[in-house]
Each structure stands twice: as C-alpha cells, then as structure tokens.
Amino acid sequence: MSGVRTEGDLAPTPGQTVGPFYGYALPYDGDSALVPAGRADAIRLHGVVTDGAGAPVPDALLEIWQADADGSVPARPGSLRRDGWTFTGWGRCATLDDGSFSFSTVLPGRRRGASGEDQAPYVAVTVFARGLLDRLLTRAYLPSDAAEAGSLLSSDPLLASLPPERARTLVATPDATGFRFDVRLQGEDETVFLTHA
C-alpha cells in the first residue's frame, strides 16, 4: 500500500452533498429565545414549514433578524451566549417532526425607510432546508393592530409591489401568544422569497 487514496476511497464532504447537517453543529442552548418567554413584552413568532405538497418539513432551520421594540437595529455581540438581558435581534430554530418552529422575541418597532417613510414592522427570515442549495430569504410582517394593518402594511414598498394574494404570504396572523407565520416552500400559496443584492 502506497498510502495514496483513490477517488473511490474518499467520502463526500458536506459541500458536495445536499444536507441538512444542522443537528451536528448549528443548534445551541437558547437559540430560539431572543428574549425569555416570561418577559413582559415577549411575543411568540411561530408556524410550520411545508413543502410543495403541503407536507411538513421536519429538518429545516430558520434564522431571524429584527429591530428592537423601539425600532433600533441592535449591534451588540452575544447572540450565541444568551444572558437573558441583552437583545441582539437574532435567533435560530430548527423545525420539529411536524415542521413547526417557535421563537420567543419582541414585537419589532417601526423603522424609517431610505426615503424617510415609516415601514411596517417586520422580521427578516432565512430558511435552510433539504433540497435547497442556497438559503431562502423572506419577511414576516407583524401588524400589532387593525389600524396598522390598514395603513402601514398597505403603504409598505415591498408589500405594495406585490399582488394582494402574494403579499398576504408575508403577513403573520396575530393569535393569543403572538403571531403565526407559516412558510410554504413552493406550490399553491408559496411564500414570497426575496433576492439579496
């Protein structure tokens, strides 16, 4: 034996196969708790990830980024070491066998757009899942009341650029614990996904 490996001896690396490999290195304690669930202003952002046939995706991974309750974008370190006090605006959650996910966070505040207009509050969402060679980017708009849903959502530049039936895939539904936001990867009622330049 010369010690030289042949092509047949080598196992593929993660970059040469289609994952996911999330359970190995990505989850960590407190990953989906941007704030403790018992905090006075905590809300729950939850939903289900489904494929084109409507079946749950049990091995997806979602990451979120958002503004704080006052509309400011956090720039603090510490997302991987939750201390229960510092809001970093970032979290990660793997789906369960039924495709469900849940984050404990705060309602993001309004932010000013590039033209100075108020933007509807939203959470930026990234989805990683089996069969995806690249991540998917979307938004979950969180209307806190009916007046906001009627004004800010209708004037939001992104939502206004979409047909109403497509725009509704980006708007979370208020419920008793916060907001429900389902992600449909393809097919009827597919979530609107964005490109990042």
Whether 3 maps to a domain, the answer reads no
Q: What are 137-180's pLDDT values in tens digits?
A: 999 999 876 555 557 788 888 898 999 999 999 999 999 989 99
Rounded to an integer, what distance in angstroms lies between the CA atom of residue 136 and that of residue 129? 9
The number of angstroms, rounded, from the C-alpha of 106 to the middle of its chain's C-alpha atoms is 14
Whether 9 maps to a domain, the answer reads no
Count of structural domains within the chain = 1
Contact between 42 and 106 under an 8 Å Cβ cutoff? The reply is yes
Q: In degrees to the nearest 10, what's the CA dihedral of 171, 172, 174, 175?
A: 150
Residue 88 belongs to domain with CATH number: 2.60.130.10
Burial of 109 (0-12, 13-18, 19+ CB in 10 A): middle
State the pTM of this model.
0.83
Of residues 70 and 147, more confidently modeled: 70
Distance (Å) of CA 146 to CA 67, 112, 143, 154: 21, 20, 7, 12
* Token output for 127: 């989805």
Domain that holds residue 116: 18-184
Q: What are 31-46's pLDDT values in tens digits?
A: 899 999 889 999 999 9
Whether 176 maps to a domain, the answer reads yes
Q: What is the mean pLDDT of residues 62-87?
A: 84
pLDDT of residue 133: 78
